[in-house]
């Protein structure tokens, strides 16, 4: 089959890479892709959804996979479905689970899915009153999509009030912040759990853990994610079962009952507090960098997972994973996440070590190909070095060995990815 992947990050590269190794797949297209996805397939530069659907029809593309949230919230799936095309992702209505935090919190409350105590409001007086009832830290969230920046963890009541005021006035995030959620702070450890859904049935992928802060020991500012690993030993059967019974089943049933059956990948942001999984948020797409570790763990053909989910046929799929671990270390550019950095040529040493050749690889993200044919770091998160192994330590060591082979001016990465799992071991 021929597949089109929408997006340009390391997440999309890793999906393309999995499809490239899949004998059911002939050709992979990316729109827009990045400077390295052209090694896996063909990059397109079409943004209009109907023009993309035209291309899909004209070029015999059997399946479209949507990576990022923005086109989902904007209704790409609705456009494709109306034209009878097969696409992996939720409709715009179902994508509100990510597109509106108020929709998501109210949905969780309606279906008794455990989540932090909250209010949603557009009133500054109401915001102030609720803030007074909470202990610090206090979490203030803009309702709409803010590119991952719309959540502030305030360390004092004054800061929480100031943040709420700035959001509600439209000064902080424009329209996206004119309604807000205020909630209690949950103290625990965070997990990324992914359920690939076909509207009715679902497959839960090995649980992952992301590292959102820029610096080692979870210090520094929040980022899109500086590294991840899976499966994490921080999830035991009890937590998987609670997630299944209290979260995934009621969510999928609720979405179906409310007339928006969920197809695509449900990304469940979980905080485990004293052994109890509590939902922080839903996203309606794969996590980045979590996808870069999950794709190489997939033993079944990637086309099977995506195509069967997109066509409501997961009950006829047996999706298997390798009995291995994957660790991914993000290499970011000099000024990430504050501002863009000057382009820097990427040089990758030739890898002679057989162990590394077979058990480590790069998923490219913020890269462009220069007119000289060379790869340049041009984005914030430039690439992810992924190591695989029979233990987390082995996978981690291989990922960092690969990091050592990659050079560009100003490169930065965390040195402690997977530390929580290794502390446990
Ligand atoms: P969100 O976009 O809602 O996932 O929030 C971004 C990040 O903020 C999460 O990944 C958490 O690390 C943190 N966060 C959000 N809500 C809470 C909460 N209620 N308690 C503690 N941390 C939170
Ligand atoms: N890695 C977290 C995210 O993709 O939102």
For tokens 């009153």, name the residue. Answer: 129
Output the pLDDT for position 42: 98
Tell me if 245 is assigned to some domain.
yes
- Token pair for residue 112? 């008794």
CATH number at residue 145: 3.30.1490.20
Looking at the DSSP bridge assignments, the partners of residue 210 are: 228
Residues 144 and 206 in one domain: no
Q: How far apart are CA 122 and CA 105, in angstroms?
A: 15
Q: What is the pTM of this model?
A: 0.95
Ligand nearest to the Cα of 282, by number = 1
Tell me if 118 is assigned to some domain.
no
Pick the residue whose CA is nearest to atom 2 on ligand 2: 287
Q: What is the mean pLDDT of residues 268-291?
A: 96
Ligand 2 pocket residue status of 287, Cβ below 6 Å:
yes
Among residues 94, 61, 58, 97, the alpha carbon closest in space to that of 76 is found at 94
Ligand 2 pocket residue status of 225, Cβ below 6 Å:
yes
- Token pair for residue 47? 């943004």
Q: What is the mean pLDDT of residues 215-232?
A: 96
> 316, 351, 367 — which closes off a domain?
316
Residues 310 and 342 in one domain: no
Ligand 1 pocket residue status of 139, Cβ below 6 Å:
yes
Which residues fall within 8 angstroms of residue 125, CB to CB, at 6 or more apart?
none
> 316, 334, 361 — which closes off a domain?
316
CATH number at residue 252: 3.30.470.20
Cα 238 to its chain centre, rounded Å, is: 24
- Dump pLDDT digits (tens) for 159-198: 999 999 999 998 888 888 889 999 999 999 999 999 999 9
Tell me if 311 is assigned to some domain.
yes
Cβ of 422: how many Cβ atoms within 10 Å? 16
Residues 347 and 374 in one domain: yes
CATH number at residue 339: 3.90.600.10
Residues 289 and 329 in one domain: no
Tell me if 99 is assigned to some domain.
no
Task: Count the domains in the chain.
Answer: 4
Pick the residue whose CA is nearest to atom 4 on ligand 2: 287
Tell me if 272 is assigned to some domain.
yes
Residues 276 and 309 in one domain: yes
Output the pLDDT for position 111: 97
Q: How far apart are CA 177 and CA 40, in angstroms?
A: 39
Tell me if 305 is assigned to some domain.
yes
Pick the residue whose CA is nearest to atom 9 on ligand 1: 280
Pocket test for ligand 2, best of 205, 209, 283, 337 (most atoms within 8 A of CB): 283
Quote the percentage of the chain above a pLDDT of 90: 94
Tell me if 26 is assigned to some domain.
yes
Sign of CA dihedral 289, 224, 380, 176: positive
Which residues fall within 8 angstroms of residue 374, CB to CB, at 6 or more apart?
345, 346
Residues 300 and 242 in one domain: yes
**Residue 131 reports pLDDT greater than 90:** yes
Q: How far apart are CA 295 and CA 28, in angstroms?
A: 16
Residues 174 and 195 in one domain: no
Q: Counting atoms of ligand 2 from 1, which one is nearest the CA of 11?
A: 4
Residues 38 and 134 in one domain: no
Specify the DSSP element, H or E, that contains 344.
Answer: strand 344-345
Please confirm whether the linkage preceding 385 is cis (ω < 30° from 0).
Answer: no
Q: How far apart are CA 289 and CA 295, in angstroms?
A: 11
150 confidence band (pLDDT: 50, 70, 90): confident
Q: How far apart are CA 151 and CA 141, in angstroms?
A: 4
Mean pLDDT of the chain: 96
- Least confident among 5-9, 11-15, 137-141, 350-354: 350-354
Residues 342 and 247 in one domain: no
| Ligand 2 center from residue 322 Cα (angstroms) | 23
Residues 7 and 72 in one domain: yes
**Residue 424 reports pLDDT greater than 70:** no
Output the pLDDT for position 165: 94
| Ligand 1 center from residue 151 Cα (angstroms) | 7
Output the pLDDT for position 263: 98
Output the pLDDT for position 208: 98
Which class for 158: exposed (0-12), middle (13-18), buried (19 or more C-beta within 10 A)? exposed
Output the pLDDT for position 425: 53
Ligand 1 pocket residue status of 6, Cβ below 6 Å:
no
Q: Pick the residue with more confidence: 207 or 174?
A: 207
Tell me if 301 is assigned to some domain.
yes
Q: What is the mean pLDDT of residues 73-88?
A: 98
> 134, 155, 178 — which closes off a domain?
178
Cα 341 to its chain centre, rounded Å, is: 23
Residues 305 and 329 in one domain: no
* Rg of the chain on CA atoms, in Å: 21
Pocket test for ligand 1, best of 269, 277, 282, 420 (most atoms within 8 A of CB): 269
Residues 287 and 381 in one domain: no
**Residue 248 reports pLDDT greater than 80:** yes
| Ligand 2 center from residue 225 Cα (angstroms) | 6
Ligand 2 pocket residue status of 293, Cβ below 6 Å:
no
- Token pair for residue 153? 């963890």
Domain containing residue 135: 123-178
Q: How far apart are CA 106 and CA 87, in angstroms?
A: 28
Q: Pick the residue with more confidence: 230 or 174?
A: 230
């Amino acid at each position: 089959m021929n597949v089109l992947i929408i997006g340009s990050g390391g997440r999309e590269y890793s999906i393309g890479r999995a499809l490239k190794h899949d004998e059911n797949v002939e050709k992979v297209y990316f729109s827009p892709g990045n400077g390295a996805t052209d090694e896996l397939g063909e990059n397109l530069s079409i943004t209009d959804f109907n023009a993309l659907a035209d291309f899909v029809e004209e070029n015999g593309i059997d399946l479209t996979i949507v990576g990022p949230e923005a086109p989902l919230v904007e209704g790409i799936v609705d456009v494709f479905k109306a034209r009878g095309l097969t696409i992996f992702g939720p409709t715009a209505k179902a994508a509100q689970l990510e597109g509106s935090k108020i929709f998501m919190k109210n949905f969780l409350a309606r279906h008794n899915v455990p989540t932090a105590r909250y209010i949603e409001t557009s009133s500054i007086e109401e915001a102030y009153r609720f803030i007074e009832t909470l202990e610090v830290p206090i979490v203030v969230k803009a309702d709409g999509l803010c590119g991952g920046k719309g959540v502030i963890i305030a360390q004092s009541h004054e800061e929480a009030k100031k943040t709420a005021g700035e959001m509600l006035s439209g000064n902080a995030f424009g329209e996206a912040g004119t309604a807000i959620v205020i909630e209690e702070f949950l103290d625990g450890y965070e997990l990324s759990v992914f359920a690939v859904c076909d509207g009715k049935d679902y497959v839960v992928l090995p649980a992952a853990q992301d590292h959102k802060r820029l610096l080692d020991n979870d210090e520094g500012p929040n980022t899109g994610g500086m590294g991840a690993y899976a499966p994490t030993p921080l999830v035991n059967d009890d937590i998987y079962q609670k997630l299944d019974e209290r979260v995934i089943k009621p969510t999928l049933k609720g979405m179906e009952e409310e007339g928006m059956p969920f197809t695509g990948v449900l990304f469940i942001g979980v905080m485990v507090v004293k052994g109890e999984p509590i939902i922080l948020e839903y996203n309606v797409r794969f996590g980045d960098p979590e996808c870069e570790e999950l794709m190489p763990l997939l033993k079944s053909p990637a086309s099977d997972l995506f195509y069967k989910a997109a066509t409501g046929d997961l009950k006829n799929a047996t999706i298997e994973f390798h009995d291995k671990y994957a660790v991914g270390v993000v290499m970011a550019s000099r000024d990430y996440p504050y501002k863009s950095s000057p382009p820097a040529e990427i040089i990758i040493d030739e890898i002679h070590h057989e162990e590394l050749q077979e058990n480590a690889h790069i998923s490219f993200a913020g890269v462009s190909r220069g007119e000289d044919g060379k790869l340049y770091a041009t984005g914030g998160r430039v690439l992810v070095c992924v190591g695989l192994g029979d233990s987390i330590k082995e996978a981690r060591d291989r990922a960092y060995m690969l990091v050592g082979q990659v050079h560009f001016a100003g490169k930065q990465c965390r040195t402690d990815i997977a530390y929580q799992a290794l502390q446990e071991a």
